[in-house]
Structure 1
Amino acid sequence: VLSFAGGLPAPEAFPAGALARAHADVLANDAAAALQYGPTEGFGPLRAWVAERMTRRGLPAAPGQVLITAGSQQGIDLVGKALIDPGDTVVVEAPSYLAALQSFSTYEARFETVETDDDGMSADALERVLLARRVRLIYLVPNFQNPRGTTLSLERRARIARLAAQHGVSVLEDDPYGELRYRGPALPPVAGLDEDAPVIHLGTFSKTLAPGLRLGYAVADERIIRALTIAKQAADLHTASLTQRAVARMLETFDYDAHLVRLRLLYGERLDAMLSSIERSFPEGTAWTRPEGGLFVWMRLPCGMDAQDLFVDAMRERVAFVPGAPFYPGDPCRETLRLNFSNRPPLAIAEGMARLGACVETRLREAGPERQVAG
């Protein structure tokens, strides 16, 4: 099956050799510490590296403002555990990252959706919600959003930070894809735009090094980091000591920026292949996003076509995607679907899009001339 479903990085891009050497070095020279329990906040040198990196990206941070997590997914869960009480309102985009919706639901959050477009979450719509009701948390993915692939504009970033400061509402800025930009200028984190805004920034090494490391981080003011640390102590005591030390050791000599350049070239080529293949293979009435980075393209099928029904057809042709309905907390658009491009080479992408486009064409023919084209 040609799968474009999971958000999988390309395994051929994992720095396996550098990671192997770093693990061997740590075990040869620091085994006692690496195999022992460690501080919940994380390994000091790795926290310092993250703080310096985020400062360079526009979010001034000190090591004491960094918590090392077991992937950014744990960061989402810790924020829910520390901040959300049953019945609290969480503002999300529609569609939004499915695993975040699932995590917040376990803490019995009530979702309030706001409009989103090619420039990300609507600040006007957010302000209307903040004026109408008490909100506990705003959740957003500012760069190359999962699932839509869209990016929050600089103007909206600044305004959302300002609204959060004015209303005293915490923002969870989930940024797993921020360093995977293939075109256009990089934008600063929301967390760095207003020092009075209570923003928690999440990042991860899953998309830039390897997801199997399960290594992420939260950056926030020290009061919030203390609350998240307490929540993490009850969850897993600390992130794996060996992994933290090995990655920190690797980063002492590994050219991380050169590695990112290679990743961007690889994934940028695959994104271009997907966009050109969609243009070539899908019928009139199909619409899709044109991301500047990240891992996903979001598609809307011709009017009235259910992506779940299309999935059945596609699997018969041995091609897979994720139907879009589960990404909505309520009132889903069933004409939507998500496509991942990072885990397949260009020729496989072209073949997969040709198969999927043919499935859409077949459904349109079978539906007859009365089917309307999406506007």
Structure 2
Amino acid sequence: MSPSSTRPRSAAAPPALSSRAAAVGGSAVREILATTARPEIISFAGGLPAPELFDVAGLARAYEAVLAEAGSAALQYSTTEGDPGLRAATADRLAARGLPTEPESLLVTSGSQQALTLLATALVEPGDTVLVEDPCYLAVLQVFGFAGARLLPVPCDEYGPDLEALDDLITSARPKLLYTVPTFQNPTGRTMPARRREGVAGLAARRGLWLVEDDPYGELRFEGEEVPRLTAYAAEAGAADRAVLLGSFSKVMAPGMRLGWLRAPEELLRACAVVKQSADLHTPTVNQMAAARYLSDCDLDAHIGRIREVYRERRDALLAGLPQALPDGSGWNRPEGGMFVWARLPDGHDAAALLPEAVAHEVAFVPGAPFHVGTPDPATMRLSFVTHTPDEIAEGLRRLAKTFA
């Protein structure tokens, strides 16, 4: 007998959920992953790092060393700001890529997704306007939706936000912040070039809004020249006091460790630390210490180099097969790194309506419409290339072609 069946008939119904919980929907990507988890399905849907590339042995040694040498500390509560060794190692990595950073400017988070939640809580009042790229990383719509933000899309081209449109939106909407993924963006895979980054940073400096740069994919470059982070251009433009950078070890170390970080000016960093205290006190100590030990004992850059080689082969396999898999008149981009290809079917096609047919052929993708804050484009789709081997990708594309037969 269920507990609800024993409630007296005169008992009142429980209070309703919060309006935020009722208004903000679930992640379309997560829902697709739940329905396509069968092992026989070749999925281009999730942005899941290739598990066979995890350095399991190296991470196991790091955990063993930490537990053997400092087990009591590793299993104890820790400071909210994060393990000093991991903050120092992360600061060194940022400095090596051209962004001088002090460990005290960093807050360790439980994945960069938590960093977004901390920022939204610390910065956004209900009704505040937040600008996002269109299309946009899906989970950020949930985060700022729960904060009660008014989300406005910034028109974008193949290089990112249109500067004139962005300037007009800043003038008319008076936003609190702009959220952007400048390098290998999710979902489009595009990268904002240097001149465009200079323009965005300049607008942030002149107009006074917060600039939030999310960089989970920046180290996964396969070709082309590395572009300095948007945060670096913000510093040059005199906007260092309103520039925030988010990063993660999920794509280059292991997502299950749930390790991210937030780089921010002192006052905002302190506010985020207070919010984190109320959320989870601190990110698990043993994971932080093991990551710091791994960075000390192992060559993460060499490991990332191996990941890049494999992912480049998989991107090339996907691009090579798309002409035969998608209908005539389709188009797609060629990302220089990251995890995603953005494709568009010919006018009249609806990727969401086609998804059940694709799943029936044991292949999956993510329709592009949910990523749009403005008018959705039903013909778009996101394809992740990192999880499967080139042979599996080729087979997946053969199955996908049957969807359009």
Separation in 2, partners of 1:134, 1:289: 33
Matches of 2:277 and 2:229, distance apart in 1? 27
Amino acid in structure 1 at the alignment position of 2:306 = R
Q: TM-score, normalised by structure 1?
A: 0.95
Deviation at 1:224, TM superposition (A): 1.7
Task: Find the aligned partners of 1:58 and 1:231 in 2 and give their Cα distance.
Answer: 29
Structure 1: stretches of 5+ with no match in the other structure = 363-375
1:338 aligns with one of 382, 388, 401: 382
Q: Which residue of 2 aligns with 1:43?
A: 83
Q: CA RMSD in A?
A: 1.0
| Per-residue CA distance 1:143-169 (angstroms, 9 max, x = gap) | 111000000111111111111111110
The DSSP-based 3-state class of the residue aligned with 2:191 is: coil
Q: Aligned partners of 1:162, 1:218: CA distance in 2, in Å? A: 22
CA–CA separation in structure 2 for the residues paired with 1:48 and 1:56: 12
Which residue number in structure 2 is paired with residue 163 of structure 1? 203
Aligned match of 2:33: none
1:20 is paired with a residue whose SS is: helix
CA distance in 2, matches of 1:188, 1:155: 11
Q: Distance in 2 between matches of 1:3 and 1:194?
A: 38
The one of 199, 214, 221 equivalent to 1:174 is 214
How far apart in 2 are the matches of 1:290 and 1:116? Answer: 17
Aligned to 1:256: 300
Counterpart Cα distance in 1 of 2:368 and 2:173: 28
Which residue, 268, 275, 283 being the options, matches 2:312? 268
How far apart, CA to CA, are the structure 2 residues paired with 1:12 and 1:167?
46
Report the Cα distance in structure 2 between the residues aligned to 1:275 and 1:287, rounded to whole angstroms.
Answer: 11
Match of 1:231 in 2: 275
Q: Distance in 2 between matches of 1:108 and 1:131?
A: 21
Which residues in structure 2 correspond to 1:240-255 (within 5 Å)? 240-255=284-299
Distance 2:304 2:335 in 1: 18
- Which residue is equivalent to 1:99? 139
- Of 77, 93, 104, 1:64 maps to 104
Q: Which residue pairs with 1:316 in the alignment? A: 360
**Which has the higher mean CA deviation after the structures are superposed, 274-283 or 174-183?**
274-283
CA–CA distance in 2 between the matches of 1:43 and 1:3? 36
The match for 1:22 among 62, 86, 95 is 62
Inter-partner Cα distance in structure 2 for 1:231 and 1:156: 33
Q: Distance in 2 between matches of 1:297 and 1:27?
A: 41
Distance 1:227 1:61 in 2: 19
Give the letter aligned to residue 246 of structure 2.
Answer: L
2:204 and 2:234 in contact (8 A); partners too: no
Normalising by structure 2, report the TM-score. Answer: 0.88
What residue ranges of structure 2 are gaps of 5+ in the alignment? Answer: 1-40
Of 256, 261, 267, which residue of structure 2 is paired with 1:212? Answer: 256
1:181 is paired with a residue of what secondary structure?
coil
- Aligned partner letter, 1:208: V
| Residues 169-211 of structure 1: per-residue CA shift (max 9 Å, x gap) | 0011011000000010111111111322211100000000110
In 1, the alpha carbon distance for the partners of 2:275 and 2:389 equals: 41
Identity over the aligned pairs, expressed in percent? 49
Structure 1 segment 61-210 matched on structure 2, within 5 A? 61-195=101-235, 196-197=238-239, 198-210=242-254
Q: Secondary structure at the match of 2:234?
A: coil
After superposing on structure 2, the runs of 4+ consecutive aligned residues of structure 1 that deviate more than 4 Å are none
* Match of residue 335 from structure 2: 291
Give 3-state SS (helix, strand or coil) of 1:139's partner: strand
User: 8 Å contact 2:326–2:345 — kept in the other structure?
Assistant: no
Indicate the SS of the match to 1:228.
Answer: helix
SS in 2 for 1:194: helix
Paired residues of 1:291 and 1:297 also in contact (CA < 8 A)? yes
Whether the 8 Å contact between 1:282 and 1:358 is mirrored in structure 2 is no
Alignment partner of 1:305: what SS?
coil
C-alpha distance in structure 1 between counterparts of 2:139 and 2:325, whole Å: 31
Worse-matched range after superposition: 281-290 or 269-278: 281-290
